[in-house]
Amino acid sequence: MEDWRSKALTNFPELEYEIGRNQGGPTGLCTDLHIALLAAYRASPINDSLIRRIYDYAAWSFRQPETGDTETDLFNAVAVGLIESLPLDQRVSDDLYRWLSVETFEGCELLFRRHLSEEKYRKLHSDFIRKKKGFTGTSLL
């Protein structure tokens, strides 16, 4: 398995300081990636390159073998440090259809529901499906 920190340094040279100071392991890195994702959406124009690399890193992490340890398991780190917070920012949630497949979105239902009411989750889901139907691109995750 490729080292998560080395992969992060390769994918995110602009986050070298954050990655280097990270003491929270993969979950801390994913929290930093969430902060970087929000900043990428606030940029004008949005930083599609960074957004794509963050989702690519998440997809890579999901393909890594499970470690059986929540401190080092990349799937768990991405789920807790990044994915579950995606619906909390309108700019991010409005754009999920470009990055997540329907299968991944629906597989993340429990994560999304941790922070959303039933009504907000239903709206998120219906908006995602509506936008996904008109999207012809390939999802990374």
pLDDT higher than 60, residue 9: yes
Q: Where are the domains of the chain?
A: 4-133
pLDDT in tens, 25-83: 899 999 999 999 999 999 999 999 999 999 999 999 999 988 888 778 899 999 999 99
Residue range 8-17: average pLDDT?
Answer: 94
pLDDT at residue 86 tops 60: yes
pLDDT top residue among 16 and 72: 16
pLDDT at residue number 91:
97
Measured CA angle at 117 (ends 62, 55), to 5 deg: 25
Mapped onto helix, strand or coil, the DSSP state of residue 23 is coil
What percent of the chain is modeled with pLDDT above 70?
Answer: 99
Residue 2: its pLDDT value, please? 54
pLDDT at residue 112 tops 60: yes
Task: Tell me the whole-structure pTM to 2 decimals.
Answer: 0.93
When pLDDT is averaged across residues 106-133 and rounded to a whole number, the result is 97
- How many other β-carbons are positioned within 10 Å of the β-carbon of residue 136? 4
Per-chain mean pLDDT for the chain = 93
Alpha carbon distance 33, 12 (integer Å): 9
pLDDT above 50: residue 1: no
Place of tokens 């936008």: 131
